[in-house]
Amino acid sequence: MVRVLDERGELDPASPPAPPDSELRYFYLWMLTVRTIDGRMMHLQRQGRIAFYGPITGQEATVVGSVAALGPQDWVFPALREYPAALMRGMPLSHLVHQCYGTALDVVRGRQMPCHYSSPAAHYVAMSSCIGTQVPHAVGAAMAARIRGEDTVAMAYMGDGATSEPDVHAALNFAGVYRAPVVLFCQNNGWAITVPVERQTAASRLVERAEAYGMPGVRVDGNDVLAVHRVTLQAVERARSGGGPTFIEAVTYRMLGHTTSDDPSRYRDPAEVEAWRGRDPLLRMRRFLEARGLWGDEEEAALLARVQAALNAAIEAAEAAPRPPLESLFDDVYAEPTPELERQLAEARGAGSREGAHG
């Protein structure tokens, strides 16, 4: 398994030189930002102010390190916990908060579940709760870019559970045969909701599947942001140069539930959680930065204050924003509304009027 920083945050002496200091700080800044957003959004859901949330806590290094390897022209096809990719690529924080509240200012006007973000400007495709469907979409987009002669790579994220889905098999097989310019990034956090990875496959490592599809596979310490960035950068460069796909298995751990609808204490041993808590990717990276004089308590406090202030402003705006109008439910279905759609819209307006009349 590829590793650059050990669990104490010390650099492997056999490793190539670390990235520039500014890049090291950038990685940690985003991991801490995401951890802070996660905590606040979890509280909002527990308070009943948003309906649902899927936390990334514990897996920040996998997304931050991998998406930093992409160019602005590349596309991201997320699973559930990849929203840092959208933020890092330019999606405003207010966009994220409005989406979780489903306000009229939400880009998709409340038509998606909370956490199902999308951002065309950030080249971040809307996720689906149907497991694994984004992987063939990513392979198709990569092939389309190649046919058009574009210098574009697609990044397909998936969890360990998705590797048991037929869609993922079809996508990996197609990508391998046609050498699609795609990176297939699997976040193996050990659990597909309640199903442990050893119940998913008889293989000892998910990365072993790559050979069967005719592509290289890399297994990386997913809690080591520098290692994740290094192997993903190599995979992106390979795809962009015509070398074809790479399958990456990032071994990590989700510290919280699968979503706010899940109680992990019912199926996970607390000792397992505590063991992984000691491998926290933020703790590892902060130790490394402090040893190099690149981070300290003042920087940490200043960043946390900025993120909390931005969150406060975004939440205040979302809670003051109106809900999407009822009529928007029928928008964007057809270029020109059909008679049937017009009839349904009239019925909905009538029902809304009656509901309003009765309070």
Superfamily of chain region 21-324: Thiamin diphosphate (ThDP)-binding fold, Pyr/PP domains (3.40.50.970)
pLDDT for 351 beyond 90: no
pLDDT for 357 beyond 60: no
pLDDT for 33 beyond 60: yes
The 3-state secondary structure of 299-345, one letter per residue: HHHHHHHHHHHHHHHHHHHHHHCCCCCHHHHHCCCCCCCCHHHHHHH
Q: What is the DSSP string of 158-208?
A: EETGGGGSHHHHHHHHHHHHHT-SEEEEEEE-SEETTEEGGGT-SSS-GGG
pLDDT for 41 beyond 70: yes
* Paired tokens of 133: 């469907």
pLDDT class for 354, splitting at 50, 70, 90? low
Strand-strand pairing, 191-192 and 154-159: unpaired
> Where do the structural domains in the chain lie, given as residue ranges?
21-324, 326-359
Lowest-pLDDT choice from 30-34, 125-129, 267-271, 291-295:
125-129
pLDDT digits (tens, 9 = 90+) for 276-323: 999 999 999 999 999 999 999 999 999 999 999 999 999 999 999 999
Q: Which residues belong to the active site?
A: 254, 258, 267
pLDDT for 355 beyond 70: no
pLDDT class for 200, splitting at 50, 70, 90? confident
pLDDT class for 15, splitting at 50, 70, 90? confident
All residues at 6 or more sequence positions from 282 whose CB lies less than 8 Å from its CB, including other chains: 28, 31, 32, 35, 60
Helix (H, G, I), strand (E, B), or coil: what is residue 251? strand
pLDDT digits (tens, 9 = 90+) for 154-180: 999 999 999 999 999 999 999 999 999
Predicted local confidence at residue 114, as pLDDT: 92
pTM: 0.94
Strand-strand pairing, 154-159 and 75-77: parallel
Question: Measured at the alpha carbon of residue 91, what is the angle toward residues 85 and 95, in degrees to the nearest 5?
Answer: 120
